Amino acid sequence: MPPPVRRIAIDRPPRVLPPSANGAGATAAGSPNPRRRLARPPVSDVIERMRIESVSLAYGARWVVREVTLPVRRGEVLALIGASGSGKTTLLRSLNRLTEITAGATRAGRITLDGEEIERLEVNELRRRVTMVFQQPNPFPMSIFENVAYALREENHGIGLGRARRRRSRRELEPDVVDALVRAGLYDEVAADLDHPALRLSGGQQQRLCIARALAARPEVLLLDEPCSALDPLSTATIEELIVGLRESVAIVIVTHNLQQAQRVADHVAFMHLGELVEYGSSEQVFDNPRRERTREYVSGAFG
């Protein structure tokens, strides 16, 4: 026998909250404009650290990035925006050659770090200089201290080759670890429990720990791949302020799906569509006066 169909009779109109006194616009007017740019401390000087020249990237026979040319400068935040599948993340990952761990990924064009082609650099050396923070907070299952110290410790290459280095002691590492945590704005919250497991932190704290970890070895460039997409608005705001503050000391590239976020944190914005760089310019220009029709549609929310 089939189970009886459960019926929920609605015999009255649904109730909605009463309209507020100021009319429909009250909510929008009551909260700060979400698109307002964050207050940014002046930057002493802007220096180009990386240069992406006619870079194309492919997975197998499928080109996902075509002929992109962009500068990455210390002293400013570069935001890569665009719909899903526009190649932003792939481009970002190619900057520290993380694309190489994907089988079948190929690259054409030149990427330089301080004038040197990144192919010429030893890959782990490059990745110490160009570090990355991911979408999901991913602290390692160790203590907070060890998470940051992990980035600082140089593992001894070649066992028994005579150049095995001594494991650096905690006391030697402590100043650098604390410094990284301070720069990531996490130190005050965790100072008392550096030995607690990192996985007990909240999501926002975990992500800031990942930023601290990425900053610990004093990289020249920090890559952020949608760093706030797994976080709540408050943690997002904290991290955005952090990003703006960090641009003084490190070149920052951020991939984001969130246009308001790009507007809040970025100095320069690159809009990508289907693997091509459609528009690159200052944040104000791209958002307020886009030169291309495609950009206008995207930043106004017509697609994506």
Nearest partner of 176 among 197, 193, 153, judged by Cα? 153
Q: Does 202 bind another protein (CB under 8 A)?
A: no
Sole residue written with tokens 């969130």 = 258
Of 135 and 282, which CB lies nearer to another protein in the complex structure?
A: 135
Q: Does 101 bind another protein (CB under 8 A)?
A: yes
CA–CA distance from 201 to each of 3, 207, 208 (Å)?
A: 46, 9, 10
Identify the residue among 43, 199, 237, 274 touching another protein (CB under 8 A).
Answer: 199
Query: Strand runs (DSSP E) across 37-171, as ranges?
Result: 47-59, 62-74, 77-81, 105-113, 116-117, 130-133
How many other CB atoms are found less than 10 A from the CB of residue 169?
A: 8
The DSSP annotation for 1-39 comes to -PPPPP-----SPPP-PPPPTT-TTHHHHHSPPTTPPPP
Torsion of CA 139, 140, 141, 146, to 10 degrees: -100
Q: Shortest approach of another protein to residue 134 CB, angstroms?
A: 5
Identify the residue among 7, 120, 163, 166 touching another protein (CB under 8 A).
Answer: 7
Identify the residue among 78, 105, 173, 210 touching another protein (CB under 8 A).
Answer: 210
Identify the residue among 83, 217, 237, 274 touching another protein (CB under 8 A).
Answer: 217
Lay out the site mask for another protein across 126-165 (x = CB under 8 A, - = otherwise).
Answer: xxxx-xx-xxx-x-xxxx--x---xx---x-x--------
Q: Does 214 bind another protein (CB under 8 A)?
A: yes
| Count of positions on this chain that bind another protein (CB under 8 A) | 43
Q: Does 98 bind another protein (CB under 8 A)?
A: yes
Question: CA 193, 198, 200, 204 torsion: positive or negative?
Answer: positive
Q: Shortest approach of another protein to residue 7 CB, angstroms?
A: 5
Cβ–Cβ < 8 Å for 37, 263: yes
Of 23-31, 179-187, 213-221, 245-253, which part binds another protein (CB under 8 A)? 213-221
Contacts of another protein in 179-198 (CB under 8 A): 195-197
Which tokens is 224 given?
């952020």
Torsion of CA 267, 106, 108, 69, to 10 degrees: -10
Q: Applying CB under 8 A, which residues contact another protein?
A: 1-4, 6-9, 12, 15, 96, 98, 101, 124-129, 131-132, 134-136, 138, 140-143, 146, 150-151, 155, 157, 195-197, 199, 210, 213-214, 217, 223
